[in-house]
Each structure stands twice: as structure tokens, then as C-alpha cells.
Structure 1
Amino acid sequence: MILSGKTILITGAGSGIGLDTAKLLASKGNRVIITGRKPEKLKKAVEGLENITAMTSDITVAEDVKELVARITAEFGSLNVLINNAAVSSVYSHGQNSEAFEKATEELLTNYLSVIRLNEKFLPLLSAQTEAAIVNVTSVVSFLPVGIIPTYSDSKAALHSYTITLRRTLAKDTSIRVFELLPPLVNTEFTKAIGGETNGMPPIQVAQALIDGIENNEEEIYVGAAKELYNLYASNPLEALNIINQ
């Protein structure tokens, strides 16, 4: 898929992988829309940048989603690529008084259920395009759960499963391609609590890998150590699980 001259929406793109992806895509002549829940953060993110429009929107709120679809339809008239990047995570371990239910509820709503709704609401716009794609950002934890982010891992595993079925379903009667980005630990605000600042790869590298993967029509885009861990998981699941949980 050629990523130039397209209209592209990236959720949760006020910083990190989302923002770096937006910058790279804008430099290739695309019209990029970024969303997030914090207007001041979005405003600061797009200062001095061309071809990027910020729209405040909370994907977990049905009315916000409705307004986002209406606004993009009215202001842009089309949508070629939807990148589902928004996510939340809680760092904790299962056990007494961990409040796992409350944490899991928020993570599953944001990281999984809201993605299903957003994709469905944008299908009419995407289906009208000659070239269109949906990108779901999961993680290496979608197949190798990590004990200190247990229900975040669950939410990404659910999103991975959904991505596979969505891809197969849309391939039957639409031209919409469905991609999955599976990064390892990345150095962003999002991962500071689990060592991303020290051990994570730069988000710009993940953003570039995503764009390269889409342009090369790689349905599952494994980045950096994620590919090595996936290969190890295929041959020795327990060893891979022990490594990622060190």
C-alpha cells in the first residue's frame, strides 16, 4: 500500500509512537489527523507541524466517537487509514486487594472494546476508498503476557485475536487491508513505570517500521526484539515467557 496522498487518523497520538508516526506520514504528503483526550497536549504536539490536524476525542465515549466520525466526514470527506494506537495500562500484580477488576475494565474498554466500535463506525468511509487500511497496535505481550501488566496483556491478546478475524472478514467483500503492529518495549511516557526509559527502543524506529511494513503489505509487523521473541515463542514458549518476565 502506498502511503502518500492519503487521509490518515491516528488515535492516542499526542506523544510517543503515535506522534512520531504522524510526523513521518505528514512528511510523505498525507493529511494526518491525531486524537487524544487532552487538548493542551494535542495543541502542543502539533505546533509548527504541517499537514497534521489535532482533534480532541475520547474513544471510550460513544458521543465523542460519533462527533469524531461526523467531523472527519465533514472536514475531510474521506479516510484511507485508521491507526488504533490509543491505550492505557496499569502496573500491578494479581493478588489480594489488587483491584484487578477495575483495572481490567478500563484497559479492556480502551484497548479492545473501543477499537471495535471505532473501526465499525469508520467502515463506511474506509469502504468508499480505492485503497484503505486499519492498523491495530498490539504488543509482544499479546502472545507473551507479562506479570506486572497482567490485564494490559489480556487486552492486547484480545485485540490480536480480533485483528485476525477482522482481517479475514473484511477480505471477503472489501478492499480494506488490516495490519497489526507488534512492538517490543518502547521508550515513551507510557512505559516509564516498566523500564521503557532505560530498556525501550526509540518510538521513531517503531513508527518507521510501521510505515515500512504497511508499504510492504506485511499483515503482522513485528518490530525489533518482538520478532526474536515471537520466533523463540514458536519453538520454546516457556523460555520466551521466562525471558520477557525477567
Structure 2
Amino acid sequence: MKLENNTVLITGGGSGIGLEIAKQLHPHNKVIIVGRNLQKLAAVEAMLPGVTTLQADVTKEQDVKELVKTVVERFETLNVLINNAGLAYITPVLEETTFYQTTSQEFETNFFAPLKLIQQFLPLLRTKEEAAIVNVTSIAALCPSAPGAGYCASKGALHSYTQSLRQQLKDSSVKLFELMPPLVATEFSSEIGGLEHGMPASEVATELIAAWKTDLFEIHVGDTKAFYDTYFSKSQEAFEMLNAPMNS
């Protein structure tokens, strides 16, 4: 995948991994950041002159329709879609009054939103000589973590869908990447110790860019590399590893 002269749309790009990806792509590409928080979007515009920001909630049907219409009209050169927006809750499965609700919200953000955006943008992407879709999943897509059962299920679903879609697109100009980070030091993961124990978001972005250079489609970032090998050789050991108490 080429690293320059792309038009890249990043959902959830106002902070965390999405923002770090935008920073690294910004100097040599046209970057469009989509987010819900106007204050974060304004801060990004000040930080990265020339970046375009669009406010939208990718879980809302009308917002998606308006987003797609705007992008197709204003940025016909779009050739990269990065589905980065995410949502996670720590909700015990046995709390029946809340678990279904929170899991539904996680699936809307982590699974159904990327599907909608891919469906809407794929006709445009397929007209390009070289195009790419990046779905950001997680180490949790490989193996469930008990406290985040809904989140893991939604990322696991996106992982499976990504593999299926990649096979369907194998003879097209659209390359499908999956970015699989471990725990990352972002506000998003602060509730589960990410700020203290996670890898820097900038390093996750760097690994994505490196994978683009060699067309490495499933990107096992940081600890995900070792975990992947453990999971497929010793699945129970991997499960216990992911569910072990966080060291203080």
C-alpha cells in the first residue's frame, strides 16, 4: 500500500489511536477525521493544519448518510477508510439489567458501524487504482476477557467479518487490513489500567504504517504477537493470561 498521496478517512480520530494515525499520515496525505466531540475536533484542527474534521456519530443512520454524502461530494479521491471508533464497557454478564444494553451499544459502535461505512464507501473505493480499509479490532478479538464480554464479542465479530471480506475482495483493488492492538495507553482504556500498563498509541500507529509498506494484512501489535502464538498453541493458557489480575 502506498504511503503518500492518499485521501484517508479515520473514524474516532479525535484522540487515542486514531489521532496518532492521523499525525503520522498528515504530512503526506489528505486526512479526514470523523468524531462526535466538537471540542476534540477543534483541537485536532489546531494541532494539524490542513486536516478536515467532520462531526458525526457513526452509530446513527442519519449521521452516516450525511457523512457519506459529504465525503463523496467533497472528497471524491477517498481511497482509505480506517474504522477506528470504539466503545467498551466493563459490565458483569450476570447483571442482566445492564449487560444486554451495554453489549448492544458496543456492537453498534464496534461492529455494525464499520459494516455500514464499508457498505456505503466500498463502491467509491473500488473505483480507485489502489485503496484500503483498516478495521481496528483488538487482542480481545482472539480470546474473551471475562470483565469485557460484550466488547470482546463485538471485536471478535469484526475480526471474523474482516477475514471473510478480505477473501471476497482478493481480486479487487481494495486491500483489507486488520489492526489488532493489545492494551493501549489511552483514555479509552483507562478503566482497565491502560494509562498505567498500556503501550503508547503512537507505537500502534507506527506498526500500522510499517505493515502498509509490506501489505501485512493482519497486524499483531506489541504483545498481541506473542499472545496470538500462545492462543493457537495453548488456548487455555492464553485465556488465563488475558484474564489474569492486572499487576499493580
TM-score bracket, shorter-length normalisation = over 0.9
Q: Calculate percent identity across the aligned residue pairs.
A: 43
For the residues of structure 2 that align with 1:208 and 1:124, how far apart are their CA atoms? 29
Match of 2:102? 103
Tell me if the contact between 2:91 and 2:102 (Cα under 8 Å) persists in the aligned partners: no
For the residues of structure 2 that align with 1:22 and 1:231, how far apart are their CA atoms? 30
Match of 1:18? 18
Amino acid at match of 1:233: Y
Q: 1:232 aligns with which of 230, 234, 238?
A: 230
Match of 2:75? 76
Tell me if the contact between 2:137 and 2:159 (Cα under 8 Å) persists in the aligned partners: yes
Amino acid at match of 1:227: K
For the residues of structure 2 that align with 1:61 and 1:95, how far apart are their CA atoms? 28
For the residues of structure 2 that align with 1:142 and 1:236, how far apart are their CA atoms? 16
Residue 92 of structure 1: how far off its partner (Å)? 2.0
Residue 98 of structure 1: how far off its partner (Å)? 5.4
Match of 1:183? 181
Match of 1:193? 191
In structure 2, relative to structure 1, the CA distance for the partners of 1:96 and 1:8 (3 Å cut) is closer
Residue 178 of structure 1: how far off its partner (Å)? 0.4
Unaligned runs of 5+ in 2: none
For the residues of structure 1 that align with 2:132 and 2:47, how far apart are their CA atoms? 28
Amino acid at match of 1:4: E
Match of 1:119? 118
**What is the 5 A alignment of 1:197-216?**
197-216=195-214
Tell me if the contact between 2:91 and 2:98 (Cα under 8 Å) persists in the aligned partners: no
Residue 58 of structure 1: how far off its partner (Å)? 0.8
Show CA shifts across 1:165-201 (max 9, x none): 11011124x2100000000000000000000011100
Amino acid at match of 2:124: L
For the residues of structure 2 that align with 1:22 and 1:200, how far apart are their CA atoms? 20
- The answer to whether the aligner puts 1:223 opposite 2:221 as a matched pair is yes
Match of 1:135? 134
Tell me if the contact between 1:135 and 1:181 (Cα under 8 Å) persists in the aligned partners: yes
For the residues of structure 2 that align with 1:51 and 1:205, how far apart are their CA atoms? 23
Instruction: State the secondary structure of the residue aligned to 2:32.
Output: strand
Residue 78 of structure 1: how far off its partner (Å)? 1.8
Tell me if the contact between 1:186 and 1:200 (Cα under 8 Å) persists in the aligned partners: yes
Tell me if the contact between 1:86 and 1:110 (Cα under 8 Å) persists in the aligned partners: yes
Residue 75 of structure 1: how far off its partner (Å)? 1.6
Amino acid at match of 2:19: L
TM-score, normalised via structure 1 length: 0.97
**What is the 5 A alignment of 1:40-79?**
40-79=39-78
Tell me if the contact between 1:72 and 1:78 (Cα under 8 Å) persists in the aligned partners: no
Tell me if the contact between 1:91 and 1:149 (Cα under 8 Å) persists in the aligned partners: yes
Show CA shifts across 1:127-152 (max 9, x none): 11100000000000001111111100
Instruction: State the secondary structure of the residue aligned to 1:94.
Output: coil
For the residues of structure 2 that align with 1:155 and 1:197, how far apart are their CA atoms? 23
Tell me if the contact between 1:30 and 1:51 (Cα under 8 Å) persists in the aligned partners: no
Tell me if the contact between 1:92 and 1:98 (Cα under 8 Å) persists in the aligned partners: no
TM-score, normalised via structure 2 length: 0.96
Over the residues paired in the alignment, what is the CA RMSD in angstroms? 1.0
For the residues of structure 1 that align with 2:50 and 2:197, how far apart are their CA atoms? 32
Instruction: State the secondary structure of the residue aligned to 1:149.
Output: helix
For the residues of structure 2 that align with 1:105 and 1:96, how far apart are their CA atoms? 14
Unaligned runs of 5+ in 1: none
Number of equivalenced pairs? 244
Instruction: State the secondary structure of the residue aligned to 1:86.
Output: coil
Match of 1:150? 149
| 4+ aligned runs moved over 3 Å, structure 1 | none
